[in-house]
Structure 1
């Protein structure tokens, strides 16, 4: 695991929000609902979509917030049933996840348990992880698919 460290300016994501523990694959179901509505969004980058995972204040223990969306200008109107969030400028460690959805949690585990404790980096609090689905390399979690995981660090 050898991530690239990048600085990313503040950006805004528009899409669907889920809050919970994802015990019944609610996030996958949410993406399936969101995909047909992507055409309603004037994105700044049509090749990328985002899964923003945040430990939002006020949520019960073990729960998190996940936003499936696309990057937009800050003044983009919010279609019914969607939300818009602006993420602050941050420094990110960028990791590649190759392969299927069934091994995605393994990649997150390796980042948290193996890489970060030995890297000299710490997560920004509250924690923010961003999944970047780049149409040029993401193939729907097939074995050759690549997904980028951005972990906000300092």
Structure 2
């Protein structure tokens, strides 16, 4: 695995559709498919061109996650009733290029190989995916995976 880029990010808020569960039947992929139902709402909320998938909570004992798929919104944005907000605090991040096709194996390598050997440890805060304008939704298309880290 290649070394990740290290980047600092200011705090921001993602507003989008939420999911809580074990993602056993592709529910997060289905959540992303529903995003297109809210094109106008997202256009009004977005402060940039990127889309985000934010993993706000992971319960290792039950295997469940809380996840929000959406856009970065301004501080005064009104969250539509069918959506929720995920606050992402300012942090230092290890940023990995990943693809949909290899996401599971990439995450296994990040947590099983890179992190145990790195000069960093996982920091508090959510990890997230950032889909830039070049992402086209195909399995081979790249996006970035942000893992919050601190030295030590």
- The alignment's TM-score, normalised by the length of structure 1, stands at 0.88
| Aligned position for 1:114 | 113
The 1-side partners of 2:28 and 2:111 are apart by 21
> C-alpha deviations, 1:41-68, integer Å up to 9, x for none?
32110x21000012257x9621111100
The 1-side partners of 2:98 and 2:61 are apart by 28
| Aligned position for 1:150 | 146
The 2-side partners of 1:110 and 1:56 are apart by 18
C-alpha RMSD of the superposition = 1.7
SS in 2 for 1:23: coil
The 2-side partners of 1:60 and 1:35 are apart by 33
Q: Which runs of 5+ in 1 are unaligned?
A: none
Q: Which runs of 5+ in 2 are unaligned?
A: none
Identify the range of structure 1 (77-86 vs 17-26) with the bigger mean alpha-carbon deviation. 77-86
Q: CA deviation at 1:139?
A: 1.9
User: 2:138 aligned with 1:141, yes or no?
Assistant: yes
> C-alpha deviations, 1:66-95, integer Å up to 9, x for none?
100100012101112100122111110000
Give the length in aligned residue pairs: 147
Q: Identify if the C-alpha distance between structure 1 residues 106 and 56 changes in structure 2 by more than 3 Å, giving closer, same or farther.
A: closer
- The alignment's TM-score, normalised by the length of structure 2, stands at 0.89
Q: CA deviation at 1:5?
A: 0.6
**Structure 1 runs (4+) greater than 4 angstroms displaced:** none
Give the counterpart of 1:129 among 127, 130, 151: 127
